[in-house]
Amino acid sequence: MQATADLIRAQQQRVRERFPDTPTAKLALLPAPIRNPRGTKSIAMGTVGDRHVDWVAAMPPLLLLEDGKTEFDRSKVVMYAYRHSYAQRHADAGVPIDQLRKLMNHDLLESTRRYYRITEERTRKAVDAVARFHFDRHGNRIWREAKQLLDSEHVRQNLEAVAVPFGRCSEPSNVQAGGGDCPIRFRCAGCDHFSTDVSYLPELETYLSSLLQTRERIAAMTTADEWAKAEAMPSHEEIRRVRRLVANVKDTLAELAPDEQDQVQEAMVTIRKSRAVMLGMPSVRQPLPDVRPERP
């Protein structure tokens, strides 16, 4: 994402220097080359398409990376295909699907999902790679056999648990409701039905920092009743539990050899991407307090 932003900024700077008398807001990002003295007209798509065809035709043979011999059909190098490449590269880099949706200017996540793929084989390998790094709510390792998970185990995991924002829930009624019926309002760090793995580390850290920020904001509020503040305040106990969980996951990762850390990191990226594709995971937020607290 940073590379894309830098590229766009550099182009904006070039256009500003070329048309210094035109207000910035009126400048086209890609100005038309003729009859455009103020830089406000965008280049026509037909012109870009024609230049692109010429550019592709002038290229040396495009050889596939897999074998370095087979030539790629250059008729498939069309401009629209870059949208797919763009989406795939960002997804491969672990950009969350909601951010990618904004970058691609889509209204629906469903539209964004169509632009990139994750192979099932790759996802399974990644799941196998992090199978040894599962934790219960206390941050204790849940040891699994290091050998590859059986197919039945993959299926079982999917049927008997649902995703929650920073792990998995096996509470039967919540599983049956697809994850929307938690009886204790998603206080997962205090629930035996909760487990997590290393791939959720970023969400766990975000959740911890949102708990801390929420505490500070509520403590500073002077415009709310004490009972309302008390209801909304994240508890010290929850913060302590989440902090311990984060620390245990990080310590486990830190103990690995560098090459093993690389493998786990790569598996984490694949799993996080797959999770975003399959589930459109929501951002992590502080769980809602009681909507109607008891009153006299």
CB of 134 to ligand SF4, least distance (A): 14
Nearest CB to ligand SF4, comparing residues 101 and 241: 241
Positions in the binding site for ligand SF4 (CB under 6 A)? 164, 169, 171, 174, 182, 184, 186-188, 191, 193-194
- How many Cα atoms are found within 13 Å in the side-chain-facing hemisphere of 152? 0
CB of 243 to ligand SF4, least distance (A): 18
CB of 169 to ligand SF4, least distance (A): 3
Nearest CB to ligand SF4, comparing residues 208 and 267: 208
Nearest CB to ligand SF4, comparing residues 182 and 276: 182
Name 197's bridge partners: 134
CB of 192 to ligand SF4, least distance (A): 8
CB of 190 to ligand SF4, least distance (A): 7
CB of 181 to ligand SF4, least distance (A): 9
CB of 63 to ligand SF4, least distance (A): 50
Nearest CB to ligand SF4, comparing residues 195 and 270: 195
CB of 1 to ligand SF4, least distance (A): 31
Nearest CB to ligand SF4, comparing residues 160 and 262: 160
Nearest CB to ligand SF4, comparing residues 95 and 182: 182
**CA–CA separation, 252 and 240 (whole Å):** 18
Nearest CB to ligand SF4, comparing residues 177 and 224: 177
Q: What is the 3-state secondary structure (H, E, C) of the chain?
A: CHHHHHHHHHHHHHHHHHCCCCCHHHCCCCECCCCCCCCCCECCHHHHHHHHHHHHHCCCCCECCCCCCCECCHHHCCHHHHHHHHHHHHHHCCCCHHHHHHHCCCCCHHHHHCCCCCCHHHHHHHHHHHCCCEEECCCCEECCCCCCCCHHHHHHHHHHCEEECCEEECCHHHHHCCCCCCCCCCCHHHCCCEEEEHHHHHHHHHHHHHHHHHHHHHHHCCCCCHHHHHHHCCCHHHHHHHHHHHHHHHHHHHCCCHHHHHHHHHHHHHHHHHHHHHHCCCCCCCCCCCCCCCCC
Nearest CB to ligand SF4, comparing residues 135 and 194: 194
Per-residue burial over 189-198, b if 16 or more Cβ lie within 10 Å, else e, is bebebbbbbb
